[in-house]
Amino acid sequence: MNDPSRPTRVVIAGGGTAGWLAATALVRQLGPLVEVTLVESDEIGTVGVGESTIPTARSFHAFLGIDEAAFMKATQATFKLGIAFENWHRIGARYFHPFGTVGRSVAIADFQHFWLEARRHGFGGAYTDHSLEARAAAEGRFARTEAETLAYAYHLDATAYARFLRAIAEPAGVRRVEGRITDVERNGDSGAIAALHLAAGDRIAGDLFLDCTGFRALLAEGALATGFEDWSEWLACDRALAVQTEAVRPPVPYTRAIAHEAGWRWQIPLQTRLGNGLVYASAHMSDDEAMATLLNGIEGRPLFDPRPLRFRAGMRRQAWNRNCVALGLAAGFIEPLESTSIHLVMIAVMRLIQCFPFQGNESGALAARFNAQSRHEWEHIRDFIILHYVQTERADSPFWRRCAAMRVPDSLAHRIALFAESAGAWQGQDDLFRVDSWVSVMLGQGLMPRAYHRIARMLSEQALRESLEGLDRQLTQQLRAIPPHAEFLQRYCAAGT
């Protein structure tokens, strides 16, 4: 593998979103430096329920040179400005987690401190009233302009997305091999993976192997016994149902996450259909109850029978073990409450390209760095998801009483304590979620700080009022120029055109 005279042989086990994202990125960025083979079987279906993204997907697509309109047409994609959370703080309550910035901050203090001062005087509205994305979402508006006024992501058809990526990757040099993996051959001396054996008798040898085999983790766990870190003590949901329905109204530019007595359900609008799903804890809801809850909450005709999914929240103890890197569901699972599943694949692929193991077996330091960054990303997202559950006033079911009473990781406990004490929030250099996101969810979940930075009192009540009114006028003026979401979709990227 460390012979510089030949390309590094990369073998990707499994297709789906994870496999084809990795294949496309490797062949587009490393070109003749790698020889990429992707092994997948038509007999094995993909999960294909991850249909919602976050704004980092746009950066990744730019990295790969993907045309946005072409991608959106091919995947029936719509635009996404954030997530509406319903019944999480308490039954009947609703808040919005927007992308982009909220209000205006200064070097000393973030916007929430000034908003809290305004609230003390009885004005200022809701925190996210000062977000263009939240207001555009509420009015069902969207536009993509050269000025990039709105921060946005996508809702997409995951199966169509894998097909779209494959159509890019194969002409660029990725070799696809159809077949079911029956055995993983290991090197007797090093313990590294040497080759994959297929049911038809093929032997696919490689230098670096990417495990994209989903929950089975055929390479990372089945062959290498990497180990799994279970997070179900904090994230008790372990099952899901997914179904698509015919669209009955124009698509809204946001995801809906609606809490129920033992978990939550999602609604993800595409151009001609709606993605629906129910996430639940099997200890608190039976499969039959879950099916009834899902079907009672959908709109439009189901396009197929709901598909069941079982999972455990957690991550592999090492994302990179020997010469194998686990991606997607093979690397672990965090429920898609904040649409981070596809992001975790993208950021892992980006990092792999940045620290690619051209030196072969002498890659221990690279793997250690990769694993440390991966752990930070996964734990950061884990904490953000736990926040939605633990910070609640719901006590209407055993599930929610359990959530409210559980002891959270110290890293999250510190964030909650800091915000409760002083309205403080922060974003580390490698953190995915920004201050605005932490504040939006903490306030939305009912965590009201006891105090805040007194620099906000340097402004008189009148000056603060005028500042917020000025911001409101600016947002209102921007909104007037933004068309309805469905109208912009039809003009920019209508599916089938």
Retrieve residue 422's tokens: 């002083």
The contacts of residue 112 (CB under 8 Å, 6+ apart) are 102, 103, 127, 423, 425, 439, 443, 449, 452
- CA 453, distance to chain mean position in Å, is 32
Annotation marks residue 80 as catalytic: yes
State the first-to-last Cα distance of the chain, in angstroms, to the nearest integer: 45
- Distance (Å, whole) CA 204 – CA 246: 42
Kindly list the domain boundaries of the chain, sorted by start residue: 8-51+157-230+317-375, 239-310
Residue for token pair 């294909």: 48
- Distance (Å, whole) CA 17 – CA 166: 10
CATH architecture, domain 8-51+157-230+317-375: 3-Layer(bba) Sandwich (3.50)
- Distance (Å, whole) CA 213 – CA 236: 24
Q: Is 416 helix (H, G, I), strand (E, B) or coil?
A: helix
Retrieve residue 367's tokens: 């793997």
Burial of 202 (0-12, 13-18, 19+ CB in 10 A): middle
Q: Among 28, 80, 89, 388, which one carries the catalytic annotation?
A: 80
Instruction: Please tell me the pTM assigned to this model.
Output: 0.96
Distances (CA, A) of 152 to 55, 99, 306, 425: 5, 6, 29, 23
Distances (CA, A) of 200 to 39, 177, 196, 203: 12, 11, 12, 9
Retrieve residue 496's tokens: 């089938």
Phi and psi torsions of 186, nearest 5°: -115, 150
- Distance (Å, whole) CA 320 – CA 324: 6
How many other CB atoms sit within 10 Å of the CB of residue 119?
Answer: 16
pLDDT number for residue 2: 57
The contacts of residue 393 (CB under 8 Å, 6+ apart) are 89, 90, 404, 446
Instruction: Determine contact, residues 17/345, Cβ cutoff 8 Å.
Output: yes
- Distance (Å, whole) CA 351 – CA 226: 20
How many other CB atoms sit within 10 Å of the CB of residue 35?
Answer: 19
How many other CB atoms sit within 10 Å of the CB of residue 418?
Answer: 15
Q: Is 56 helix (H, G, I), strand (E, B) or coil?
A: helix
Distances (CA, A) of 39 to 36, 172, 206, 256: 10, 16, 12, 35
Q: What is the dihedral of CA 227, 229, 232, 233, to 10 degrees?
A: 130
Q: What is the DSSP string of 31-48?
A: GGGEEEEEEE-TTS----
Instruction: Determine contact, residues 19/326, Cβ cutoff 8 Å.
Output: no
Report the largest interatomic distance among the alpha carbons of the chain, rounded to a whole angstrom.
Answer: 78
Long-range contacts formed by 396-405: CB under 8 A, 24+ apart: 396/91, 396/261, 397/261, 397/262, 397/284, 398/284, 399/236, 399/261, 399/262, 399/263, 399/281, 399/284, 399/285, 400/261, 402/236, 402/284, 403/236
pLDDT tens track, the chain, 497 positions: 556 779 999 999 999 999 999 999 999 999 999 999 999 998 766 555 558 999 999 999 999 999 999 999 999 999 999 999 999 999 999 999 999 999 998 889 999 999 999 999 999 999 999 999 999 999 999 999 877 689 999 999 999 999 999 999 999 999 999 999 999 999 988 999 999 999 999 999 999 999 999 999 999 999 999 999 999 999 999 999 999 999 999 999 999 999 999 999 999 999 999 999 999 999 999 999 999 999 999 999 999 999 999 999 999 999 999 999 999 999 999 999 999 999 999 999 999 999 999 987 778 999 999 999 999 999 999 999 999 999 999 999 999 999 999 999 999 999 999 999 999 999 999 999 999 999 999 999 999 999 999 999 999 999 999 999 999 999 999 999 999 999 999 999 999 77
